[in-house]
Structure 1
Amino acid sequence: MAKNVLIIGAGGVAQVVAHKVAQNAGEFGTLHIASRTVSKAERIIASVRDKGHEVEFSAHALDAMDSKAVADLIRRIGADIVINVGSAFINMTVLQGCIDTGAAYLDTAIHEEPDKVCETPPWYANHEWKRREDVEKAGMTAILGVGFDPGVVNAYARLAEDEYFDRIESIDIVDINAGSHGRWFATNFDPEINFREFTGTVYSWQGGEWRSNKMFEVGREWDLPVVGKRTAYLSGHDEVHSLSARYKDADVRFWMGFGEHYINVFTVLQNLGLLSEQPVKTAEGLEVVPLKVVKAVLPDPASLAPDYEGKTCIGDLVKGTLDGKPGEVFIYNVADHKDAYNEVGSQGISYTAGVPPVAAAILVARGEWDVKRMVNVEDLPARPFLELLGKLGLPTRVIDATGDHPI
């Protein structure tokens, strides 16, 4: 029986997810999208129809912070698979709604609490992993962090484990956005979530323990396919916190590229206290959260798409040994902002985050990834996922001893 799909969220990533499930409607049953503001969901459906996809697609109003409301909607529409691409603050309530109904749960980022930044590692253990037993008892599948990073980069590590090494010594995840949106300053996804990633401690897993640094403290130049030489900085990120559990003996680091302009603006905002998640009172007695004020005055990331040009390069440099012989591979994808906009009306960052959960949903619907337990992406077979991603628009390439080639 075809699986009905519910998308929760109505931002740039949700738009990509909606277009991609519509393009692959034959894999699913009925399609649904829910948001607190139903008009945003309706606009996404209209953009799908504008591309000529005449599929059954319904919009719903939903307060996703209310797990009962989530469960009620799942039951009412008969959703079998829930793709959560809303704010990172709703993960646990949406997950609970899925546990209560038995629907499969997919998300693209780790859960966050609004009043906490950079909790004690490993981050998944603070929230999602505590529900492992509940998920298994419910007999449902929960796949965590199945965006690009986290998500695809986790599958790259698993591919290296399965096909290149019998011992992995290091995994360096590198994320470079070489695109330009033409705005004086903007973030590529939700500004509140974006800034929260970089205001706390930078955690990496090295030498079998957690190491801490400050943001922009450790940088290095990377020479990558297509985008060339770029400076990336050691950053804290979701996937380090699950990969370190599977690859305990390996060093696991995440590197993100930043230009000088971003660093300068970020530093000024942080030094002024404008990136704080803690409320303050104005002289007029109004209570405001500085970070939310900054979010309110910055461009909506979805609005960047029409003018975005350039490419992204995201990949894993994995080093290890096979039969005692050392080696390394770089497994990566290059995406184009303009191509993404022309296809689904979103910029490349949203595209790379939105295509993977649809590939995962297809594999769940087919039964290949319907594992009836909670997993991170590296816990699942990588090749079927990566091959399907290539068909959906995110091809994987590998640089190994034989050269640069598709997987």
Structure 2
Amino acid sequence: MKKNVLVIGAGGVGQVVVHKCAQNNELLGDIHIASRTVEKCQRIIASVHEKNALKTHGALQAHALDALDVAATVRLIKQTGAQIVINVGSSFLNMSVLSACIETGAAYIDTAIHEDPAKICETPPWYANYEWKRRAECERSGLTAILGAGFDPGVVNSYAKFACDSYFDRVQSIDIVDINAGRHGRYFATNFDPEINFREFTGQVWSWQNSKWTSNKMFEVSREWNLPVVGLQKAYLTGHDEVHSLSQLLGVPNVRFWMGFSDHYINVFTVLKSLGLLSEQPIRTAEGLQVVPLKVVKAVLPDPASLAPDYEGKTCIGTLVEGERAGKPHQAFVYNVADHKQAYQEVGSQGISYTAGVPAVAAALLIASGEWDVRRMANVEELPPQPFLRQLNRLGLPTRIVQNGLDSPVDPV
């Protein structure tokens, strides 16, 4: 049994994670939140108290931390007695925070692949460039490190594993579909860190097709999806984290990721990219200042956390699995629908942050109970899906499935 949680990152997802940890602190113990800007942590703590989210009396403390400083992170883990670290800061931090966890023995959870600020769209599979290089070290030290425990990656990986094991004799394809049918009322904004958001879409689009890596340009391939609740939606073939693990771990010949974008988003994105404003490479201005264009764009766009009060509408994110069952073609769509307003009312964040943050807390609860305390590094699809889906149902992200034209809730046993 592990207790006491350190949450690294105080953005919209961090707010969800702290609220959900507070709602379950009788199981998770003391809660600490750390960020370079301690005031952001303090605002989240104030929100928790305002909503009376703490299940029982316990520590809830804020800390200033530069998580790129491994030694400082090690000291904070030891100081707080944290046995579980939930990293929901920038994906630039992953390897530093993982290093601190390996040194201290604290279990590690993240929600996205590590990124090098100077590189975009590296050679796939991306996990092999960073996290997977430390698999053996985690196993030798008996460290539990759960990779990509957000929604996508994370929940959709578990959906894929659950569907493959439960409903198919042979699987031909896995398609992840992510649709945000919500509206925030701003001229233009991204739903999470603009720097990370744009980096996903400025390079090649890697997908796994016919058991090999296939490259396309962004917005080159699209198709329409008729989805529960949100209806007919256009989505584009996009490179994404889960393709890089599912393709290597489940032995399925086709793994793709599709994301919905409005025409307005595509137009603004295209202009910014054409002007060179999405470049991660530094440039020098006429005044002699060295700046990174992408960081300038991030600085002028709305903070994603600020979108929450005005957000309306729903998300639909799911995994379509196709293959054979009993010698006949079969397909299953395992999915969740989340509501932006409901998320804001409960935890003060919008639905995108909610769907990313809740699964990380579900993973923490499973580590605390021992069910996922596997003492090695694992992606979500390598772990038993049933306990994860049960926790998600309990925490506010219920799972549903469409098969043979029937849409029904999933009650994993």
TM range, smaller chain: over 0.9
Name the count of aligned residue pairs: 407
Match of 1:210 in 2: 213
Report how far residue 402 of structure 1 moved.
6.5
Determine if contact 1:100/1:138 at 8 Å carries over to the other structure. Answer: no
User: Structure 2 matches for 1:5-404, cutoff 5 A?
Assistant: 5-54=5-54, 55-401=58-404, 403-404=406-407
Report how far residue 398 of structure 1 moved.
0.2
Determine if contact 2:5/2:83 at 8 Å carries over to the other structure. Answer: yes
Q: Give distance in 1, aligned partners of 2:249 and 2:326.
A: 20
Equivalent position amino acid for 1:165 in 2: F
Q: Give distance in 1, aligned partners of 2:245 and 2:322.
A: 18
16 and 145 in structure 1: CA distance in 2 versus 1, 3 angstrom threshold:
same
Q: Give distance in 1, aligned partners of 2:228 and 2:98.
A: 38
Consecutive aligned runs of 4 or more in structure 1 exceeding 4 Å deviation: none
Equivalent position amino acid for 2:279 in 1: S
Q: Give distance in 1, aligned partners of 2:303 and 2:80.
A: 30
Q: Give distance in 1, aligned partners of 2:289 and 2:193.
A: 24
Judge which range, 35-44 or 267-276, deviates more.
35-44
RMSD over equivalenced CA pairs, Å: 0.9
Report how far residue 162 of structure 1 moved.
1.6
SS at 2:182 equivalent:
coil
Equivalent position amino acid for 2:365 in 1: I
Report how far residue 384 of structure 1 moved.
1.1
Q: Give distance in 2, aligned partners of 1:325 and 1:75.
A: 55
Report how far residue 2 of structure 1 moved.
5.5
Equivalent position amino acid for 1:48 in 2: V
Q: Give distance in 1, aligned partners of 2:82 and 2:262.
A: 42
Determine if contact 2:164/2:321 at 8 Å carries over to the other structure. Answer: no
Q: Give distance in 1, aligned partners of 2:66 and 2:301.
A: 24
Q: Give distance in 2, aligned partners of 1:247 and 1:29.
A: 35
SS at 2:5 equivalent:
strand
Report how far residue 324 of structure 1 moved.
2.5
Q: Give distance in 2, aligned partners of 1:396 and 1:126.
A: 32
Judge which range, 20-29 or 120-129, deviates more.
20-29
Determine if contact 1:2/1:27 at 8 Å carries over to the other structure. Answer: no
2 and 380 in structure 1: CA distance in 2 versus 1, 3 angstrom threshold:
closer
* % identical equivalent positions: 71
TM-score, structure 2 normalization: 0.97
Q: Please list the CA deviations of residues 114-162 of structure 1 after superposition, one character each: whole Å capped at 9, or x if unmatched.
A: 1100110000000000000111112110000000000000000001122
SS at 1:326 equivalent:
strand
288 and 332 in structure 1: CA distance in 2 versus 1, 3 angstrom threshold:
same
SS at 2:241 equivalent:
coil
Q: Give distance in 2, aligned partners of 1:3 and 1:300.
A: 32
Q: Please list the CA deviations of residues 276-318 of structure 1 after superposition, one character each: whole Å capped at 9, or x if unmatched.
A: 0000000111000000000000000000000000000000110
Report how far residue 401 of structure 1 moved.
2.3
Equivalent position amino acid for 1:227 in 2: V
SS at 1:3 equivalent:
coil
Determine if contact 1:309/1:336 at 8 Å carries over to the other structure. Answer: yes
Determine if contact 2:2/2:84 at 8 Å carries over to the other structure. Answer: no
Equivalent position amino acid for 2:75 in 1: D
Report how far residue 166 of structure 1 moved.
2.3
